[in-house]
Amino acid sequence: MIKTIKLMLIDDSDISLFVTQHILQKLNFKGESILMPSGFSALNYIKENIELTEILPDIIILDIEMPILNGWEFIDELSKIKGNIPKKINIFVLSSFLFTEKCEEYTKKQLISGYISKPLKIKNMEQIFESFLINQNLK
């Protein structure tokens, strides 16, 4: 039996969150979406639920350009507590900037699972789910 996928969307733009939700509807996504308006709120959510595997996200789609705690800072903070998280969380970076050295560095360190250029498209979301299912041996 395939478990329900928990997807966390971290973006300070309401429009981006709306577009992503619309894409999920088009794909008939049956999992759970957790919407976070900032890296700070997402990090707090994970810390507060760190022992509750069923509540933690399986996949994070993370905007890089955000105030207070940007995407890279979020990843750095999350990596500090990674050993305490009881499951692998797949992070996909979403940015309007081109693939950068930082993306390459974080990919090599296995801190991110992939990079997506904005705007997010249906085929990108399909690739994210495909990658997740393969990594989880669910396909």
111-135: per-residue pLDDT in tens?
A: 888 888 888 899 999 999 988 887 7
pLDDT of residue 1: 35
Say what the pTM is: 0.89
Higher pLDDT pick, 118 / 86: 86
DSSP annotation string for the chain = -PPPPEEEEE-S-HHHHHHHHHHHHHTT--SEEEEESSHHHHHHHHHHTTT-TTTS-SEEEEES--SSS-HHHHHHHHHHHGGG-SS--EEEEEESSPP-HHHHHHHHTTS-SEEEESSP-HHHHHHHHHHHHHHTT--
The domain spans of the chain are 6-135
pLDDT of residue 103: 73
Q: Is residue 107's pLDDT more than 80?
A: no
pLDDT of residue 76: 93
Q: Name which of 21-25, 68-72, 131-135 the model is least confident about.
A: 131-135
- Could you please state the CATH topology (level 3) that the domain comprising 6-135 is classified under: Rossmann fold (3.40.50)
